[in-house]
A and B are shown apart, each in its own frame.
Chain A
C-alpha cells in the first residue's frame, strides 16, 4: 500500500492540513469493461484525525468520494511541531495510518 501523503502548514494559529490517500474507491456499480462483471464495492468508510493525540475530525465516507481521496481541514490553536495522525478503514477492513508534523 502506498503511504498516505500529508501536508500540514501553519497560518497564524490555524493549521491547514491536506492529505491524499491511494485507494480505488469502487462504488460497486461499475462494470469491468473487459469482463462485463460488476467490480465489487471497495471504499473507505471511516477516517479520523488527531492533533497531539486529541481527536479533531471523525468522518464517515460513502461511495461518493472520488478515487484516490483528497481531504483538507483546518484546526485552530495549533502550533508548529504538533503531530497530526490520520487513520482510515475501508469496507473490507483494510486500514492505514499516516502522520506528519505541523510545519511553520
Chain B
C-alpha cells in the first residue's frame, strides 16, 4: 500500500484547473445535495434501504463476487471489492447489514465503466456485506459474512 501511495502522490494531477475554477466561483459544482437519497441512507434495515432505492426482490447470484476479509480486526476500515460478472451491469449498491444504517453507497456505472468497485467501509459489528446489482434492468444480489473484532461505527 505504501508503494501505491507514493505512486499516487507522484502521478496525482492535484486539484487542477477545474477545481480552481470551482473554488473561485467560476463554475458551479455539477453535484447537488438534492441528488442524495436521504431516506435510503437513514434507513435502519436492509429492506427499508433497498425499498427507498427501488431495488426490491433482487435474485441471488453467484456471478457477483464480494472480496472482503473473513475477519476484520478493525471495523473502522474494511476493504471491500465488488465484481459483477453479469453482462450489462449498470449499478452496484453496497450494504453492511448490521450497521446502524446499513446502506454504505451506490454507484451508477456508464460509458464503459465495468461491474467493479473497490471501497473501504466502516462496520459496526459482525454481519453480511451485501451487494445489489442492476444489469439490463434486472436486480441481482449476493452477500459475504465479515467477522468484526472491534466495531468501527463510533469513528
- Chain A positions near chain B (C-beta within 8 angstroms): 1, 3-7, 14, 18-20, 27, 29-31, 45-48, 51, 54-67, 69-78, 85, 87-89, 91, 93, 95-101, 103
Contact = CB atoms under 8 A, between A and B. Distances in A.
A6 B31 CA distance: 20
Contacts of B105: 59-62, 64-65
A20 B41 contact: no
Contact of B33 (A5, A18, A45): A45
A66 B29 CA distance: 24
Q: Categorize the interface residue count of chain B.
A: 35 or more
A16 to B, nearest CB: 9
B76 to A, nearest CB: 6
A11 B39 CA distance: 39
A60 B29 contact: no
A29 B153 contact: yes
Classify the secondary structure of B's interface with A: mixed
A64 B105 CA distance: 8
Contacts of A51: 111-112
Interface SS majority for chain A: strand
B110 to A, nearest CB: 6
B121 A64 contact: yes
Contacts of B79: 70
Contacts of B7: 7
Interface string B58-78: 000000000000000000111
A89 B155 contact: no
